[in-house]
Amino acid sequence: MKIITIGREFGSGGRELAKRLAKELDFKYYDKEIISEIAKSTDLDEDYVNKVFEKGLTSYPLHFGTSFAGLSLLNQNSIDIMIAHEKIIRELAQKGDCVFVGRSADAILNDLNPLNIFVYADTDYKLNRCKKYGEIDAEMKDKEILKRMKQIDNGRAKTHSMFASNAWGDRQSYHLLVNTTGFEDIDDLVPSVAEFAEAWFDNNEKED
Amino acid sequence: MKIITIGREFGSGGRELAKRLAKELDFKYYDKEIISEIAKSTDLDEDYVNKVFEKGLTSYPLHFGTSFAGLSLLNQNSIDIMIAHEKIIRELAQKGDCVFVGRSADAILNDLNPLNIFVYADTDYKLNRCKKYGEIDAEMKDKEILKRMKQIDNGRAKTHSMFASNAWGDRQSYHLLVNTTGFEDIDDLVPSVAEFAEAWFDNNEKED
């Protein structure tokens, strides 16, 4: 079974690359549907689950309420989400060759020896990409977008640290790190990354 | 003009990849000859110049001698080496499309917009590679090899910090980071890295 995980900085085009890479390799592609599945499985609201991921699981209980009841309730939600999250990712991974975007799949599926890729870019490139592809409200000022970008990446790093011993974005956690800066069309990156993936699976499946 | 710089952890196979990539792309390849050129240009011994690079320029004056004369002599040598180093790398870069291995060429040639690649691997992979390809004395114990590997990488990081604002091995300093772990034959990595390089030059030369 071949599993690719793609971690990415917000606005770097990592999701786009993951989507096109999955298509190129004829792999299944898992992204936001994981959040829907967690929401269904935990009986929690989808937006709520998404927010927990964005803010980072660890910090969540500290941000809300001070009374015992409040803390306890939130902790239980976080635990439920973590358990459902891990279970769903493991189930999806059993369904055949696939690409996961984010969601700490690299750490969760570590024992299945996935190919872990990280996608990042310069701040200006990410800012322009966010504005061009409208992943953020059109009325937001640059400063606000930059703040939001940083918040989202911090949340991703925090959530990742719940599942992994290696740090989010640190080269030791990945097999390939791709800087998309300068690439107007993410498509231009697909052939080389697909070629790397094929070579990597040829070399790294033998050993298990 | 297309310039590729390859930084690498000791034992990762980065030099091998650089050599084969240059061949694949029909680029000139610059590596140890830079040390010879510096030695010639500064009238210093080649082994001495090499040691200065291995230990890292910055720390050098602190390691030897305490008297004024001693310090001053060493400082002057370090300065001479740095100046010759920068001059030689700039001259070579003018001779046409090329690949530089290490020597902080990424930082020195920053204004020429080089494609910067970093090659690294897990400790076990590097240790095995060192033993297999004899880049170290055959009689050295694993523990000694590991210590030496760390020393060399620390020296590279130190020398790099003399020329660059970004840190050696940090993803922000590079366009592509390749983990060679698991690759028995570095050749298997050449097509994907060459493909990335071509796509990168197509996208990043337009802007200048």
Is B59 a residue whose pLDDT tops 80? no
**pLDDT(A206) > 60:** no
Cα separation, B93 vs B4, in Å, equals: 10
Strands B3-8 and A176-179: unpaired
**Three-state SS at A71:** helix
Nearest-CB residue to A183 (from B120, B169, B203): B203
Say which CATH topology domain B3-197 has. Rossmann fold (3.40.50)
pTM: 0.89
Q: Tell me if chain A has a CB within 8 Å of the CB of B174.
A: yes
- Looking at this protein, which amino acid is placed at residue B94? Q
Q: State the Cα–Cα distance between residues B120 and A93, nearest whole angstrom.
A: 28
Question: What distance lies between CA A154 and its chain's CA centroid?
Answer: 12
What is the ipTM for the molecules in this complex? 0.89
Q: Which residue's entry shows tokens 């498509």? A: A187
Edge-first strand order for the sheet with B98-101 is A28-30, A98-101, A3-8, A115-120, A176-179, B176-179, B115-120, B3-8, B98-101, B28-30
Task: With CB atoms and an 8 Å threshold, state whether B202 touches A189.
Answer: no
Listed range (A174-188, B7-21, B46-60) with the worst mean pLDDT: B46-60
Instruction: Give me the residue from B171, B176, B188 closest to A202, CB to CB.
Output: B188
Q: Which residue in B183, B199, B207 is closest to A188 by CB distance?
A: B199
Summarize pLDDT for B83-120 with one digit per residue, the tens.
899 999 999 999 999 999 988 899 999 999 999 999 99
What would the two tokens of residue B204 be?
Answer: 């990043």
Sign of CA dihedral A134, A137, A138, A141: negative
Per residue in A4-42, pLDDT (tens digit) is 999 999 999 999 999 999 999 999 999 988 999 999 999
Instruction: Give the number of A-B residue pairs with CB atoms closer than 8 Å.
Output: 74
- With CA atoms as reference, report the closest residue to A172 among B118, B131, B173: B118
Cβ-contact B171, B177 below 8 angstroms:
yes
pLDDT digits 0-9 by tens, A78-137: 788 888 999 999 999 999 999 999 888 999 999 999 999 999 999 999 999 998 886 667
CA-CA distance, B93 to B99, in Å (whole number)? 9
Q: Which fold has domain A3-192?
A: Rossmann fold (3.40.50)
- Locate the domains of chain B by residue range: 3-197
Count other Cβ atoms within 10 Å, centred on residue A133: 11
